[in-house]
Structure 1
């Protein structure tokens, strides 16, 4: 992973978390498209890291499962409320703590993976992929909650 990719990951994470801490309208398109773009971009970064060994694949699956689990839990902590006639979402302090926990888990899993023989390049290169997967899992919880609220949700096409 080069410095540009690291800066991009930090910038995207700061932007996403920052906007969600202040609150924003729930937007179906953004909730689906952004995680998808991040995951696809992350997949390409991962593919550029070289051939994945079986050990890499196992640890990537573990990281993926943890990313999904944390994203699902995080999605359940998001506050949904009405503002200006549409549904808004806002991260709570617990949601922020879950982000911190997921970052710590990511570093821990990467260290464990490399210690178990997985390639450092593969584990490091999967960061954006796992970020996208985690946001997609979060949306899997938030969007059904949003539609169940009965409050109008932005659905731009």
Structure 2
């Protein structure tokens, strides 16, 4: 397939994703993770067919890192909500602005990369960076989804078959809902220890009134000494 034809397919694929996600679509793990990874992998396969200069590789990696950051920001800006017992996602105005910046980065990097290495297959580099950006966006959106009420499907059922769910995503959702934070558990443990200690002291005072009176008298003397100082 020629480079121009691949470029047209890439533009069509990005446009399809933008339209679907602006209208709102189900949060589908396979579409969010697997397909972008395949797109990035195809780009890598095309790039390694011919040896690339170190400068071009470094520039491509830097571009991919920037695009991944923009993908994470897009995922954070997207809205995640429940509808018809499924989690949905929808792009916002902020997401559109981030996409415009992303496309500007892609065009600018392709131009500079062409100046550094005229022999590089630019459609392959675009597939790689766009795939990385969509993968980062998918991870960010799914991270929001696991903290939201509602199931996340892995793949939509075909031909009247039920939707496929992911045990891993279900497990992550349960863990996020229970909020089993180590610091929270430590704080609860310390509170419980304090309650048990106070209860034990109250029981001891009830069993030995004289010891309770001595402790009260000692506390009063300490308070008076502190005032004199």
User: Which of the pair has the greater relative contact order for Cα pairs under 8 Å at 6+ separation?
Assistant: 1
Same fold (TM over 0.5): yes
Q: 1:123 to 1:102 in 2, by over 3 A?
A: farther
Q: Does 1:66 align with 2:66?
A: yes
Please say if residues 56 and 123 of structure 1, whose CA atoms lie closer than 8 Å, have aligned partners that are also in contact: no
Q: Does 2:148 align with 1:141?
A: no
Distance in 2, Cα, partners of 1:61 & 1:155: 30
Aligned equivalents of 2:33 and 2:22: distance in 1? 19
CA distance in 2, matches of 1:139, 1:44: 22
What's the TM-score, normalizing by structure 2?
0.63
The 3 A distance-change label for structure 1 pair 18 and 10 is same
Residues 113, 3 of structure 1: CA spacing in aligned structure 2 closer, same or farther, 3 A cutoff?
closer
Q: Distance in 2 between matches of 1:114 and 1:28?
A: 35
Rounded to whole Å, the distance in 2 between the matches of 1:145 and 1:81 is: 10
Tell me the residue number matched to 2:128. Answer: 129
CA RMSD in angstroms comes to 1.6
Tell me, what secondary structure is at the counterpart of 2:51?
coil
**Contact 1:110–1:123, Cα closer than 8 Å, also in 2:** no
Cα 1:85–1:9, aligned 2, differ >3 Å: closer, same or farther?
same
> How many pairs align?
154
Shift of the alpha carbon at 1:153?
1.1
The secondary structure found in structure 2 opposite 1:88 is strand
Give 2:55's aligned residue. 55
| Separation (CA, whole Å) in 2 of partners of 1:13 and 1:121 | 25
Q: Within 1, Cα distance between the matches of 2:100 and 2:129? A: 15
Q: Deviations over 1:4-46 (max 9, x none)?
A: 1111111111111111111100011221111111111111232
SS in structure 1 opposite 2:120?
Answer: helix
CA distance in 2: counterparts of 1:121 and 1:77, whole angstroms? 37
Q: Alpha-carbon deviation of 1:120?
A: 3.3
Q: How does 1:70-149 map to 2 (within 5 A)?
A: 70-115=70-115, 118-122=116-120, 124=122, 125-149=124-148
Equivalence for 1:152: 151
Structure 2 residue ranges without an equivalent (≥5): 156-163, 165-229
SS in 1 for 2:48: helix
TM-score (norm 1): 0.90
